[in-house]
Amino acid sequence: MNDSMRDKVVIVTGAGAIAEGWSNGRAAAVLYAREGARLLAVDRDLQSAEATCAIIREEGGTCEVFTGDVSNSADMRRMVEAAQDHFGRLDVLHNNVGIAETGGPVEASEESWNRLLAVNQTSLFLTCKYALPVMEAQKRGAIVNIASIAATHWLGFPYVGYSATKAAMIAFTQNIAVQYAPLGIRANCVSPGFMNTPMVSASLTKAYGGEVQAMLDTRHAQCPMGFMGDAWDVAHAALFLASDAARYITGTNLVVDGGLTLRCA
Catalytic residues: 162
Report how far residue 108's alpha carbon sits from residue 26's, in angstroms, rounded to the nearest whole number: 29
What lies within 8 Å, CB to CB, of 207 at 6+ separation is 102, 157, 215
Report how far residue 49's alpha carbon sits from residue 42's, in angstroms, rounded to the nearest whole number: 6
Amino acid making up residue 131: A
What lies within 8 Å, CB to CB, of 230 at 6+ separation is 22, 27, 195, 196, 197
Residue 33 contacts residue 61 (beta carbons within 8 Å): yes
Report how far residue 117's alpha carbon sits from residue 100's, in angstroms, rounded to the nearest whole number: 11
